[in-house]
Amino acid sequence: EQEELFAPERSEPIRLPLDSEALFLVQRIRDEAHRFAITFHRVVRRRDTFASVLDGITGLGPVRRRALLRAFGSVESIRNASVDDLMTVRGITRPVAVAIKEML
């Protein structure tokens, strides 16, 4: 049996034996490209999920945002917290805590 590889500049596929070292190399390159793309998309999705809701809050930069997520674990927990609870996080002042509550 053989594996067929298709290249844009060729009308006929490239056929490689299943035990070919060239096929093994192509498979490794493909697997690495997929791993890289999947990792990138997971990072983007995670960033969008957590940060986007908190991005527009005045006075809440990346350091405070991370501190809030570390302290409360989720945006939902931050949403349910009181102003006083939010102020227990280092760097969160009353005006920032009030802004968070108003936005969420």
Is 10 inside any structural domain? no
Domain CATH number, residue 31: 1.10.150.20
> How far is residue 28's CA from residue 42's CA, in Å, rounded to a whole number?
21
Is 66 inside any structural domain? yes
User: Digits of tens for pLDDT over the chain (104 positions)?
Assistant: 899 999 999 999 999 999 999 999 999 999 999 999 999 998 887 766 655 678 888 889 889 998 999 999 988 999 999 999 999 999 999 999 999 999 88
pTM of the model: 0.52
| Residue 89 near residue 71 (C-beta atoms within 8 A) | yes
Q: Look up the domain containing 29 and give its range.
A: 19-103
Is 98 inside any structural domain? yes
> How far is residue 35's CA from residue 90's CA, in Å, rounded to a whole number?
37
What total of structural domains would you count in the chain?
Answer: 1
What beta strand segments (E) does the chain contain? 2-5, 14-17
